[in-house]
Amino acid sequence: MVGMGLLLKGEVTSDYLLTGLVTSLLVAALVVGIVASFIDYHRSAAAEQYRSAIHASLDGFWITDTSAGILEANESICRMLGYTREELLRLKISDIETDESPEGIAAHTREMMASGHVKFEARHRCKDGAIIDVEVSVLYIAGLGERLFAFVRDITERKLAESALLESAFQLRESQIVAGLGSYVLDIPTGHWKSSEMFDDLFGIDQAHERSVQSWAALVHPDDREMMVDYFTNEVLGKGLPFDKSYRIIRYQDGAEHWVQGLGKLEFDDQGQPVRMYGTIQNITERKHAEDRIRTLAYFDALTNLPNRRLLMDRLGQAINASKRTLEFGALMILDLDNFKVLNDTQGHDVGDRLLIEVAQRIVANVRQEDTVSRLGGDEYVMMIERLGRDETSAASQAEMIAEKVRKALNEPYTLTRDGQTHYSTPSIGVTLFRGQELSIDVMLKQADMALYQAKGAGRNAIRFFNPAMQASVESRSAMEISLRKGLEKGEFRLFYQPQINQAGQMTGAEALLRWFQPDQANVSPAQFIPLAEDTGLIIPIGNWVMQTACAQLKAWASDHRSSKLQIAINVSARQFRQSDFVEQVFDALRSSGANPALLKLELTESVVLNNIDEVITRMSQIKALGVSSSLDDFGTGFSSLAYLKRLPLDQLKIDQSFVRDITSDPNDAAIVRAIIAMGQSLGIQVIAEGVETEAQLNFLKQSGCTHYQGYFFSRPLPIEGFEQLLGRA
């Protein structure tokens, strides 16, 4: 309220209202003496005493007439406003009051006279122009003259403190709104609590809502309620621990579910008993959702929403520990889709993804709810089956039943495209059992992977179990891989040469065959180490060594008239041929050796040339441009197409020895060999037969039109020394 008055300096305490009343009574007593002798004010001893008391007061004091003119002022008010007494007595209240006009002051004066005693706050201007806040207590006593008596206290500092407090409270409230943070105070003996506006808004309650521990518990999500009541009773109150818990609430107003983070600190009495808890509550729903999204990305496959490798490793570790305690068997299965790459490449990745999703759903539908199904990546899935009992035979039988159920489900047709076309896919499954053994998780996965490899080797769409013999085979294979690498480094490989003969009985060349001689050990069969070299990629450096060695031999033969026109054929693996720089490797071998390109022949299998036919034709044409010839090896054992053969820049077809072996006794083989020879003649391609071991076979081939031969009938593969001796005798 704005009005006239003098400033009362000092802090306003909770007892100030009582002080104001006492002051008013004192003023009334003083006024009686002052007014009675006002005309003769300075000559009255009693009035002098009153005047001295008023001037000694720390509060400001003045007397005004009904027109707001100042009639008297004490020293305190002079100091407050910076005026002398004489200057103040020449002023009116309107000269000092900042917020009220003279008319307003006059009206206000009449109100004060009517009420007798009022108390209000005002703002006044000091002599130097400064504005101060004041609290005024005014007394008007009818019958004591037309005078108003006012005590004033300077409350500028208090107002500043109040303003700062309000600003702080505003900032706190705004900060709580931004942070979604509410506050509360819980009175522990009574169980009642008070809360901030943000707290109430978060819980969806109003001021009329019951404030008890029971009413708070009723707002907690039913699934979290028992846990939270137990936590508050036993941990917070029972052990005196700080309250720190995230939980879900059901908002009273609309039933919405939210996650909140509750924090609280206990206050204890002198006996160490909790009496109050101060705390905050914060809405963390978005944070929880973000954490869930992060967890999903970290532990689940984005495409199928199955557990990924990280989560699988964690669950598998738990399963092994549980198996140690219960002594029950579990099973680990790795499943791989047969020929998935073909579907993915021909139908597109979107169709492939739909198949992967459908496969995941079928697997989950055909295992038990407590089992774990994981996608490791690509088309590879893992199933972890627990609690299969303590009998190994029974556990294996149960595992096989589950795997077979999954296999059959995945054999059912799929509809993956909009045209409704039916697609089929089959799985290969490898299984290994575990029962708390001291094997690492990686070893168990390798065992299941080995069994999967066996399932694929058995023709796919099959189930195979890991066994120790398989492990021994794998360990032997691993040791051979290490030896293979060392053998290449130490020069343990040699080329043997098997002669190739024409219809006139002349040697036209030789096929270079790789042999591996390990020191102090039996020689390793090519049937053992060549597939391993293919799988490990070692076939690339080995194949390059073969090519360079063969080219060097051609250069060495060039100086001898007996061997200068001999051709050397080398086998090229699919992996080697598909290297992007393969043509450059051939060129480098020829250039560095100085060999005649026309005397080098590359033998390619059907599996090489019939994959990505356009790319193969381009590469073979580049090789032909170098002057190097090409032969199609093991012809007839694959799925050759005449359309492809017509397009390939081939120089030779090689009849596989499996057909030559029985051509004199098996009409079917004989018919096939005649057909291949006729095909080669019609296409203008030379035909050579391998595996010729008898004169009868040779005669049949000659009569059928085959012009070139290779086999034991002529010679076994020989080291270079033996071959050159044979060449000399020829």
CA distance 594 to 587: 10
Q: Tell me the pLDDT tens digit for each residue of 470-517.
A: 556 656 777 888 888 888 888 899 999 999 999 999 999 999 999 999
Q: Tell me the pLDDT tens digit for each residue of 542-580.
A: 999 999 999 999 999 999 888 999 999 999 998 899 898
pTM of the full predicted structure?
0.46
Quote the crossing angle between the two packed helices 526-536 and 539-557, to the nearest 10°: 120
Please compute the mean of the pLDDT values over residues 327-349 and round it to a whole number. Answer: 87
CATH architecture of the domain formed by 484-729: Alpha-Beta Barrel (3.20)
- Which residues are bridge partners to 283 per DSSP? 260
Q: Tell me the pLDDT tens digit for each residue of 383-440.
A: 999 989 888 888 888 888 899 999 999 999 998 888 878 888 899 999 999 887 667 7
CA distance 427 to 336: 6
Task: Kindly state the helix (H) or strand (E) to which residue 377 belongs, with its residue range.
Answer: strand 372-377
Domain ranges of the chain: 16-156, 180-288, 304-466, 484-729
Q: pLDDT band at residue 374, thresholds of 50, 70 and 90?
A: very high
CATH of domain 16-156: 3.30.450.20
Q: What is the mean pLDDT of the chain?
A: 84
DSSP-derived secondary structure letter, 188: T
Which tokens belong to 327?
């002594």
String of DSSP letters for 289-331: HHHHHHHHHHHB-TTT--B-HHHHHHHHHHHHHHHHHH---EE
Q: Tell me the pLDDT tens digit for each residue of 31-83.
A: 444 444 443 444 455 556 666 767 767 788 888 888 888 888 898 889 999 99
Please compute the mean of the pLDDT values over residues 220-233 and round it to a whole number. Answer: 91
CA distance 301 to 348: 20
CATH of domain 304-466: 3.30.70.270
Q: Is the pLDDT of residue 660 over 80?
A: yes
CA distances (Å), origin 61, targets 142, 382, 407, 615, 703:
19, 93, 103, 110, 145
HSE-CB at 688 with a 13 A cutoff on CA atoms is 25
Q: pLDDT band at residue 182, thresholds of 50, 70 and 90?
A: confident
CA distance 648 to 651: 9
* DSSP three-state, residue 490: helix
For residue 510, report the phi and psi dihedrals to the nearest 5 degrees: -155, 150
CA distance 288 to 298: 15
- Residues whose CB falls within 8 Å of the CB of residue 5, separated by 6 or more in sequence, listed in order: 120, 122, 124, 134, 135, 136, 137, 138, 150, 152
Please compute the mean of the pLDDT values over residues 206-226 and round it to a whole number. Answer: 90
Whether 16-156 shares its CATH topology with 180-288 is answered: yes
| Percentage of residues of the chain with pLDDT beyond 70 | 87
Low-confidence winner among 291-295, 427-431, 560-564, 715-719 (lowest mean pLDDT): 291-295
- What per-residue confidence (pLDDT) applies to 692? 95
For domain 180-288, the question of CATH label 3.40.50.20 is answered with no
- What per-residue confidence (pLDDT) applies to 16? 36
